[in-house]
Structure 1
Amino acid sequence: MLHWLGAGKAAGAYVQPGDGVTLVAGGRPAVTLVIPERPKDSVRYAAVELGWHIEKATGFQPAVATESEVTSATLGKAHIFLGDTRFARKAGIDSGALEPESCAIRTVGRHLCIAGHDTSGSPLDEDTSAGTLFGSYELLDRYFAVRWLWPGELGTFVPRAESVVVPLQDHVVTPRFMQRHVRSAAGLKAKDHPELGFTAAAAEEYMNAQATFLRRNRMGRRILAKYGHAFVDWWRQYGAEHPEWFQLVNGRRGPSRLGARFSMCISNPGLREEIVAQWREHGGDTPGHLPTFVNAVENDVPGQCGCDACKALDGPEPPDYRKFIPSKSKIASKPFVSDRYARSWQAIQQIAAKYNSNSVVVGYAYMNYFAAPTSGIKLGPNIMIGFCPSSWFYPRSGDEQDWMKAQWRGWAETEARLFMRTNYFLDGYCMPHIFSSQFADEFQSAANNGMIGTDFDSLTGHWATQGPNLYLLLRLQIHPDMPASALLSEYYSAFGPAAADVRRYFDFWEAYTSGGRARLRDTFEALGASRWRSWAKAAHAIYPEESFAPAEALLDKAASSAAADQQASRRVQFLQLGLQHAKLCSLAAAKLTLGDPESSYERGKVELQALLEFRRAHERTWVSNMNHCAWVESTSWALPGAAVQLQAPDPE
């Protein structure tokens, strides 16, 4: 079970002495791609992907054949055997014995075998085990230096290849984390104002391109762990019969008002038994070697039960806890309750273990129970916790950053299995809000302290303004031990002769972001804006029109440097379009923000029209996920029809 929950290893430097296998010679493919007679869809797709990228690197498409077309005569030339071929089996590779998502990469004479654990299903479905496809991406990553920067062809950096030789090797590659997941943001679109977002055709194309991009960055999972807020409908279903299962607040069980969110009386023995009973009803107690997951994730609300039994499970509040809780946060007035949840998850797991020793209870470290417990409790690997602080967006002070990393380490000391389940990437709207250094620091600290997986909410897709953030978000999940500076150098190298200028451009915005902590806090409080749901209420104040001029000058310099390199020039233009879009959004926000009682649709009509014209003209460049922009703007601006002023809950 521990293997499934995160014992995978990243690819190592598996080079052995010898001549190796020549894939490209003299700038042309020197290899034939070979697939089985009846390949899995993901294996067939691996051949397509390898062929496409090799053609980009050389200008020539490599030959593709089924194994029956390979003869003893043709074996005199190099081949890449993909998937469960007879050749791979004869070479001793049993792909059926590999763990999900794993791939054996082995040189055999002048040939290369890439044979993985492959299951039926769409190659782009993260629940399809596509070991051979992942092995192909490992080959492109390691030996062709391909870099996937953003969705689409322009965002795919494939250096010119004159010679590619794969050294002799025999290695199994498995993604290090059992789950690598970034939520697609497919549902983040404005229902009342669809005109602000993509057209329907462009939206479909964008999501398809994004799905391809995510798979190229090897997003996926070895096992399907189902979890999420577990008790949303429980009051309606069980409140009348079992009010004791629900929070006790001000002497009353259940929601404080009709339709309000509620937490559970997590100490209640009957509640714990019912959680396990429902897990059993869905087959969780079926014997097997795979873990089955008991969903005990609290609702999207602070833990606030005030009964004596719950309070008896609480540990002492950390002495520095209140120092780091924002004074106007929804948890500022709530008690510290991490230990009651930790102890309750443990009790639930002990019940489930009676029926299945491979049961794993899932909870979130969230709201007023995200800080590490203080009781010294040891939970063990049969409890899996999603680390999900409900605030503390970037940028942070040094003390805040250190404290956040300490909370992760504190949970790791319970010996539970941890996955990063943060909402950080919902922040920033489409502005050049750059926090790549602090994110990489926190991610790598977690990776070095027991992280087994990720589940990020969400991929909002502002590729042209937040590129370094997003590149590290994807790349670190495959190469968590690589220095962030080295990964960012990969990103900037795609801009060719403008690489140094583009680095300076994003360094400018990262300094602007990190220097604006107080401005962000004060502005969002003053305008009643949310850092994730109504960012556009404050966009003009955080990024006023005059803030764009220095950045525009830096990109002008980059454009000049890249002028002689067509691809690099187009990528710089991509950044320029993204900055232009952000500026148009800022200008519209200044006239339309619901944070200003003087705002009206008529007041901002000209600016809004200019923004919409830009979006129609450039929506297929993928500079931004226009649907996400529309989702934010629909609750931020005075718009025709129903303008909805929301007090945004936490982003769960």
Structure 2
Amino acid sequence: MKGSFELHPRRGWALVLAGALFAVQIACGSERPIVAAGQARATVVVPGDASPVVRYAAQELVEHIAKASGVTLPIMTEADGQPGDGSHFFLGATRAAENAGIDAAALAPETFVLRTIGPDVYIVGGDLRRGGPGTRAGEHAVSDALYNPPEIPPGDPLNMNTPGGTMFGVYEWLERELGVRWLWPGELGTFVPVRHEVVAHDWDETVAPRFFQRLVRPGLGFTSDHPALGFTPAAAEKYAHEQSVFLRRCRMGRGTVITYHHAFTDWWEKYGEDHPEWFQLVNGKRGPMKPGGRFSMSVSEPGLQQKIVDLWQAERTKPTGTNPHYINAVENDILGLCECEGCRAWDGPVPADAMKFYSPKSKVFGARFVSDRYAHFWLAVQQLAAKHDPDATVVGYVYFNYFQAPTSGIKLNDHILLGYCPSGGWYPRSPEEHAWFKRQWRGWADTGARLFSRTNYFLDGYCMPFIFAHQFADDFQSEVRNGMVATDFDSLTGQWATQGPDLYLLMRLHTRPDADPDELLSEYYAAFGPAATEVKAYFDYWENYTMGHRAQINEAFDSLHASRWRTWAKAAHAVYPTECFAAGEAMLAKAAAACADDRTAAERVAFLQAGLVHAKLSSRVAGLLSLARPDGPAPEGKEALAELLAFRRAHEFSGIANFNHEAWVEDLSWTLGTETKQAPELYP
């Protein structure tokens, strides 16, 4: 049967076969031998001029088959001559694929064809970045800084902006045929079931990503004024590389490269003198309320809207530009504060429950409800831009006091792309609160705008066993059902050994968004072999602990004036006191006993045990050195901190956590001395 391709922004890793969706785990017909009787029965063939993506895809295919079977398949290029007898994997835009009627150049970026013909397997991807929708000239650096380590250049297979269709096709094949799963970065987190024979089944599918952008910001930019708390340079380099590999294996990337960020941060300096009317009016004064302070815009001002479009139009018409369709209209990182008559006229009725789920200490509590003015703003900019380009799309954030759904009945359109970035709503939520936050997404979706998830929730939890997997999955899948077209999660803090179920679902739901979360989690637990049941019980314990302590968590952060993303370590001891770890320790001891005869499973349990020890040590130091202690640091804090630092030095190459993230949190949470400020090369 011959598959037909239809790219649709709301379908995902969609299997579009003659117009029908087929389940990804079903194969039919004959089997082709790939490895049999300890011998390679297939050859991997790439084009003579294979791109870095295709060469890397070939290496990944061979490496994982070797892990499964102990047999290494040969790799050759078509320039080397005719491939020998047996089966073949034809990867990328080979002549063989072209002769088989597979046109690689016609595939959208990141899309791939998975097809078997006779004894051969064809994995052919959209590996080219086309012209059209892209970033503004000069903005690639912004995107690279957010999503790619500096050592990963454009075009590299590990760069998030590099189309990886063939590579993604290889990963799909490995998942389906070999049951490969990537649990966390690194060798230990790569689960490949052992098998003596490898076969390839019949496939004829064209597969496109569900979301045009799938991003989890890698969190490699966390820095601290106390570097001794974090990685040494060599450990940081290893961690960054392994995580970059892992993220691509989980199909993180983007078919359309767009850049968005707080758009107006330097506008007061540039335009404030000539056009003060473009800026917030607060207490009768335009612009920042104090020198150098943040400010919002007077979004109802026609001159501001026109300037945004004029700048975009000037950029897109430059000979060196990328002719972008996307206009960055993301408000600055501050509440919408403008009190001018025009902005207030655009505001909709205030919902009766507008403040119901905000703490009185929240910056949003008591702020004016301004969602409708921003909806009007984005629509006005989009309509102006459409005069120059009917495909022009405005990008904005729904954020702060304009994240709640509009109430005026305003209708937007699919040329307005909004990042859903709720203020508040941290997990765990009460059932009523959870339902309320999901309603806000649906309300924005009902306007006709396209939405992408741009939440900060994965900055939460510090290094504690903070498990909210099922509530997150319900949130994510609700967004999928209500039109989510892309993601951008800020950020990956890398707590692999303590928050594994959260992070596994975060990754897997990007490629299996409609799957039962418990079925996905069963994949994770299965990698612990004979200890799977015990490990599940362990994480169930911590999820019940997290969900059951919602009120205590909120009270601790309020009373200790701690942030859920930046100063978590001020309150870690209050949320996870030392005595709470004993039950988890006992459960992991039981898991270790269950898999004593399975070396790899035992190593994975030991990985979890190291994460729990690290969390317990960190909680102890928090209790002794927290800036929230009314009587200052405890005398024994220095000794406890030394023990924590020694543990991190001993485990920094293990991959249990991103220690640089811990340092980033701790340097604003604890009373620290000069010993934590030593240069990295002086680390013990």
* TM-score above 0.5: yes
Q: 1:267 aligns with which of 269, 288, 300?
A: 300
Q: Which residue of 2 aligns with 1:42?
A: 53
Q: 2:200 aligns with which of 159, 166, 173?
A: 166
Question: Is structure 2 residue 23 aligned with structure 1 residue 13?
Answer: yes
Q: Is the 8 A contact 2:9 2:210 kept in 1?
A: no
- Spell out the pairing of 1:154-303 with structure 2 (5 A cutoff): 154-190=188-224, 192-283=225-316, 292-303=325-336
Alignment deviations for residues 480-502 of structure 1 (CA, whole Å, 9 cap, x no partner): 01110000000000000000100
Q: Secondary structure in 2 aligned to 1:475?
A: helix
Q: Shift of residue 70 of structure 1? A: 5.0
Alignment deviations for residues 201-233 of structure 1 (CA, whole Å, 9 cap, x no partner): 110110011000000000000111111111111
Q: 2:504 aligns with which of 455, 471, 474?
A: 471
Question: Is structure 2 residue 163 aligned with structure 1 residue 129?
Answer: yes
Q: Which residue of 1 aligns with 2:416?
A: 383
Q: Shift of residue 288 of structure 1? A: 12
Give the aligned residue type for 1:116: G
Q: Which residue of 1 aligns with 2:662?
A: 629
Q: Is the 8 A contact 2:12 2:511 kept in 1?
A: no
Alignment deviations for residues 417-441 of structure 1 (CA, whole Å, 9 cap, x no partner): 1000000000000000000000000
Q: Secondary structure in 1 aligned to 2:33?
A: strand
Distance of 1:283 and 1:25 partners within structure 2: 56
In structure 2, the CA distance between the partners of 1:130 and 1:643, relative to structure 1 (3 Å rule), is closer
Distance of 2:262 and 2:377 partners within structure 1: 16
Q: Is the 8 A contact 1:601 1:638 kept in 2?
A: no
Report the TM-score when normalising by structure 2.
0.91
Q: Shift of residue 41 of structure 1? A: 0.3
Distance of 1:571 and 1:642 partners within structure 2: 33
In structure 2, the CA distance between the partners of 1:78 and 1:97, relative to structure 1 (3 Å rule), is same
In structure 2, the CA distance between the partners of 1:618 and 1:529, relative to structure 1 (3 Å rule), is same
In structure 2, the CA distance between the partners of 1:22 and 1:643, relative to structure 1 (3 Å rule), is closer
Q: Which residue of 2 aligns with 1:81?
A: 90
Distance of 1:102 and 1:314 partners within structure 2: 42
Q: Which residue of 1 aligns with 2:577?
A: 544
Q: Which range moved further: 207-216 or 31-40?
A: 31-40
Distance of 2:171 and 2:178 partners within structure 1: 10
Report the TM-score when normalising by structure 1.
0.95
Alignment deviations for residues 174-195 of structure 1 (CA, whole Å, 9 cap, x no partner): 11100000111111121x1101
Alignment deviations for residues 78-123 of structure 1 (CA, whole Å, 9 cap, x no partner): 0101111111110001000000101111111100111111138100
Distance of 2:289 and 2:425 partners within structure 1: 27
Q: Is the 8 A contact 1:4 1:222 kept in 2?
A: no
Unaligned runs of 5+ in 1: 645-652
Distance of 2:237 and 2:13 partners within structure 1: 35
Q: Is the 8 A contact 2:35 2:71 kept in 1?
A: no
Q: Is the 8 A contact 1:20 1:107 kept in 2?
A: no
Distance of 2:407 and 2:463 partners within structure 1: 39
Give the aligned residue type for 2:30: D
Q: 2:555 aligns with which of 515, 518, 522?
A: 522
Alignment deviations for residues 360-419 of structure 1 (CA, whole Å, 9 cap, x no partner): 001111001111111222211100000000221100000011111111111111111100
Distance of 1:24 and 1:419 partners within structure 2: 42
Distance of 2:193 and 2:632 partners within structure 1: 50
In structure 2, the CA distance between the partners of 1:403 and 1:290, relative to structure 1 (3 Å rule), is farther
Distance of 1:326 and 1:30 partners within structure 2: 64
Distance of 2:586 and 2:615 partners within structure 1: 15
Q: Shift of residue 13 of structure 1? A: 3.0
Q: Shift of residue 592 of structure 1? A: 0.5
Q: Which residue of 1 aligns with 2:19?
A: none
Q: Shift of residue 27 of structure 1? A: 5.7
Q: Shift of residue 470 of structure 1? A: 0.3
Give the aligned residue type for 2:126: H
Question: Is structure 2 residue 646 aligned with structure 1 residue 613?
Answer: yes
Q: Is the 8 A contact 1:10 1:174 kept in 2?
A: yes
Q: Which residue of 2 aligns with 1:152?
A: 186
Q: Shift of residue 277 of structure 1? A: 1.2
- Spell out the pairing of 1:553-572 with structure 2 (5 A cutoff): 553-572=586-605
- Spell out the pairing of 1:307-326 with structure 2 (5 A cutoff): 307-326=340-359
Q: Which residue of 1 aligns with 2:137?
A: none
Q: Shift of residue 6 of structure 1? A: 5.1
Question: Is structure 2 residue 101 aligned with structure 1 residue 97?
Answer: no
Give the aligned residue type for 2:217: R
Give the aligned residue type for 1:167: H
Give the aligned residue type for 2:234: A
Give the aligned residue type for 1:508: Y
Q: Is the 8 A contact 1:27 1:161 kept in 2?
A: no
Q: Is the 8 A contact 2:355 2:366 kept in 1?
A: no
Q: Is the 8 A contact 2:466 2:498 kept in 1?
A: yes
Q: 1:532 aligns with which of 565, 568, 584?
A: 565
In structure 2, the CA distance between the partners of 1:472 and 1:8, relative to structure 1 (3 Å rule), is closer
- Spell out the pairing of 1:324-339 with structure 2 (5 A cutoff): 324-339=357-372
Q: Shift of residue 7 of structure 1? A: 5.2
Distance of 2:338 and 2:111 partners within structure 1: 45
Q: Which residue of 1 aligns with 2:437?
A: 404
Distance of 1:518 and 1:428 partners within structure 2: 15
In structure 2, the CA distance between the partners of 1:289 and 1:125, relative to structure 1 (3 Å rule), is closer
In structure 2, the CA distance between the partners of 1:642 and 1:502, relative to structure 1 (3 Å rule), is closer
Q: Secondary structure in 1 aligned to 2:652?
A: helix
Q: Shift of residue 64 of structure 1? A: 1.2
Q: Shift of residue 326 of structure 1? A: 2.4
Distance of 1:323 and 1:541 partners within structure 2: 25
Q: Which residue of 1 aligns with 2:457?
A: 424
Q: Is the 8 A contact 1:337 1:368 kept in 2?
A: yes
Q: Is the 8 A contact 2:11 2:209 kept in 1?
A: no
Question: Is structure 2 residue 120 aligned with structure 1 residue 116?
Answer: no
Alignment deviations for residues 6-41 of structure 1 (CA, whole Å, 9 cap, x no partner): 555434436564214332334654321111111000
Unaligned runs of 5+ in 2: 1-5, 16-21, 129-153, 678-684
In structure 2, the CA distance between the partners of 1:252 and 1:208, relative to structure 1 (3 Å rule), is same
Q: Which residue of 2 aligns with 1:648?
A: none
Q: Shift of residue 162 of structure 1? A: 3.0
Q: Is the 8 A contact 1:534 1:632 kept in 2?
A: yes
Q: Secondary structure in 2 aligned to 1:624?
A: coil
Q: Secondary structure in 2 aligned to 1:107?
A: strand
Q: 2:73 aligns with which of 37, 40, 62?
A: 62
Q: Which residue of 2 aligns with 1:647?
A: none
Alignment deviations for residues 516-555 of structure 1 (CA, whole Å, 9 cap, x no partner): 1111111111111101000001111111110000000000
Distance of 2:607 and 2:613 partners within structure 1: 10
Q: Which residue of 1 aligns with 2:143?
A: none
Q: Is the 8 A contact 1:28 1:59 kept in 2?
A: no
Q: Secondary structure in 1 aligned to 2:396?
A: strand
